[in-house]
Chains A and B, each alone.
Chain A
Amino acid sequence: MSILEIIIITFVKILFIITAMLLTVSYSVYFERRISAWIQTRLGPNRVGWEGILQPFADVFKLLLKEDIVPEKSNKPLHTLAPFIALFVAFSTYAVIPMGPEVTIFGYKVNLVVADVNIGILYVLALTSLGVYGITFAGWSSGSKYSLLGGVRASAQMISYEVSMGFSIAGVVMMASSLSPVAIVNSQYGWMWNAIVQPIGFITFVISAFAETNRLPFDLPEAEPELVGGYHTEYSSMKFASFFLAEYANMIIASAMIVTLYLGGWQVPYIDKLGLGETLTTLIQVGAFFAKIGALIFFFIWVRWSIPRFRYDQLMNIGWKVMFPLSLLNVVWVAVVLMIFN
């Protein structure tokens, strides 16, 4: 393959990912509203288009047309920069997540991942940590006490949960003996999913993922009853929408990460034994990846409308006194498993 071909293929992949991300983000907002309505035995938005299927577009147009208010006492450059950081981080994380096995399209061998980086997991960890800056800048630059509290909470919470998240990932990395997401997915062949091999790590990772994405029960940075809107109190129009999109994009990335690290990525157990054609197998595998992500997004939404928010000291207690030791225990467990079976 020439350089030009590689560039073109990568661009096509990026285009596909961005479009898919934007669509899934806006539709996860729609499904959030519908599912919350069903849980509360309501109907939810069902007027715009068939069963409200065009609602996300109506929402986005409404937000685009609204006035963008910048508070007088805000730090204006940072106030503008913060939503961009949040959105940029959320979207660029997706580059290393594999959606399917290597396929041949029009004679080209294509890996169904934008960048098969051999330190992909580190890249994701680094970028999600950067995501804190978006929120903290937003909180600090708004010049409002509620925003500041939200931003401070976000940074404290994310740092605490990053630790247990990192240690949970350490277990996965030990199993695959690689930092590359593609290798990690390949290592979970058949039923050797990490969720089954290391259940403690799975639970700690899922809970840390909830805290990292600021979703209920850990949505303290925006806790409406206490902090008005938290870090995005002073944001309006498309800047607010950027935070909103970034939150949902983070949710999708967290789902994709859980799927990649613990639920076998695009692997479907024993599909190669069924004797289906190569194209069909690949399609089923890619479909399985998206189905798993969809199920996890549903889980995120379902949890949000079931569980109340933690108090701040409880959050910190769980983070340092429960999640952190548990994730360490998981590392030991994985080491023992490796010792026995290798």
Chain B
Amino acid sequence: MPDKKRKKDLTFAQKLYLPEIFKGLALTFKSMLKPSVTMEYPEVKFVPPAAYRGRPVLVEEKDGTERCVACGLCSRVCPALAIEVQPEETELEKERYPKLFEINMIRCIFCGFCEEVCPEEAIVMSKDYELVFTSREDAIYGKDKLLVPVDQLKDRLEFLRNFK
């Protein structure tokens, strides 16, 4: 290694050791004056960028219906078998809708395959990373928790159109 210095390669000042120590002290003193990088969590929350894969959510259209057509691809592709979809017929133009849509958040591994495979852009990864539950039953998210208005997901949908 050419950049490794042996003792005889050191200059006199480096051998004296103290000047180098004062250099180090000056460095730490400088970093002491820098602003802190810590976020004080409950008060200040980290807002992730659009590329962040938080918990998967279903897109809720402006008229209050889900975009999902219950094709079951997400359930099929899910490597952790976390998604369960039960389809049913509907009078709407899309003809099918999920009667039951459940994601087991204990199983979910946040891989984003469901979002990738979805032909309707109906299931997307959100920025929500605060997932707390006190029992196994609470961890199974039904449609009530999964449906999120499309306005709140604009960031992610735009990201998907640009990069998917």
Which residues of A does B touch, CB under 8 Å?
35, 37-43, 203, 302-303, 305-307
B32–A42 CB distance below 8 A: no
Across-interface contacts of A38 in B (CB, < 8 A) = 32, 36
| Cβ–Cβ contact A43 & B40, under 8 A | yes
Instruction: Say whether B35 contacts A302, CB under 8 Å.
Output: no
Chief secondary structure at chain B's binding surface: helix
Q: B51 in the interface, Cβ–Cβ < 8 Å? A: no
Cα(A37)–Cα(B28), bound, Å: 11
Interface size on B, residues (CB 8 A): 15
Q: B18 at interface (Cβ–Cβ under 8 A)?
A: yes
Q: Say whether B38 faces chain A, with CB atoms less than 8 Å apart.
A: yes
Query: Residues of B contacting A203 with CB < 8 Å?
Result: 18
Q: Which residues of A contact B27 (CB under 8 A)?
A: 306
What are 24 contact pairs spanning A and B, CB under 8 A?
Answer: A38-B32, A38-B36, A39-B28, A39-B31, A39-B32, A40-B31, A41-B31, A41-B34, A41-B37, A42-B36, A42-B38, A43-B36, A43-B38, A43-B40, A302-B28, A302-B29, A303-B21, A303-B25, A305-B28, A306-B21, A306-B24, A306-B27, A307-B24, A307-B25
User: Residues of B contacting A37 with CB < 8 Å?
Assistant: 36
Among A40, A41, A43, A302, the residue within 8 A (CB) of B25 is A302
Q: Is the CB of A306 within 8 A of B36?
A: no
Residue of A nearest to B30 (CB): A39
Chain B residues within CB distance 8 Å of chain A: 18, 21, 24-25, 27-29, 31-32, 34-38, 40
Q: How far is the CA of A35 from the CA of B37 in the complex (A)?
A: 15
**A41→B36 contact, CB < 8 A:** yes
Most chain B CB within 10 A, of A35, A40, A42, is at A40
**Cβ of A306: which chain B residues have Cβ within 8 Å of it?**
21, 24-25, 27-28
Shortest Cβ distance from residue B26 to the other chain A in the assembled complex, whole angstroms: 9
CB neighbours (8 Å) of B35 from chain A are 41
Known: A39-B31, A302-B25. 10 other contacts (CB 8 A): A37-B36, A41-B34, A41-B38, A43-B36, A203-B18, A302-B29, A303-B21, A303-B25, A305-B28, A306-B21
Ranked nearest first, the 8 interchain pairs of A and B with the lowest CB-CB distance are A306-B28, A43-B38, A38-B32, A39-B28, A306-B24, A43-B36, A41-B34, A39-B32
A307 to B23, CA, bound (A): 11
Nearest-neighbour CB distance to chain B for A8, whole angstroms, equals 45
Q: Are A42 and B37 neighbours in the complex by a CB distance under 8 Å?
A: yes
Q: Which residues of B contact A41 (CB under 8 A)?
A: 31, 34-38
Within the complex, the shortest CB–CB distance from A292 to chain B, in Å, comes to 18
In whole angstroms, what is the CA distance A302 to B29 when docked?
Answer: 8
Give the shortest distance, in Å, between B108 (CB) and chain A (any CB). Answer: 32
Which B residues touch A42, using CB under 8 A? Answer: 36-38
Q: Which of A41, A42, A203 has the most CB of B within 10 A?
A: A41
Bound CA–CA A42/B31 (angstroms) = 10
- Could you tell me the distance between the alpha carbons of A322 and B122 in the complex, rounded to whole angstroms? 73
Please indicate the chain B residues that have their CB under 8 angstroms from the CB of A39 in the complex. 28, 31-32
Chain A residue nearest in CB terms to B29: A302
Please measure, in the bound complex, the distance between the C-alpha atom of A41 and the C-alpha atom of B25, giving whole angstroms: 15
- Name the residue of chain A whose CB is nearest to the CB of B22: A306
> How far, in angstroms, from A302 to B26 measured CA to CA in the complex?
10
Q: Are B36 and A35 in contact (CB-based, < 8 A)?
A: no
* A35–B32 CB distance below 8 A: yes
Chain B hits for A35, CB < 8 A: 32
The residues of B that contact A40 with a CB separation of less than 8 Å are: 31
B46 to chain A: closest CB distance in Å?
Answer: 15
Which among B24, B25, B28, B40 has the highest number of chain A CB atoms within 10 Å?
B28
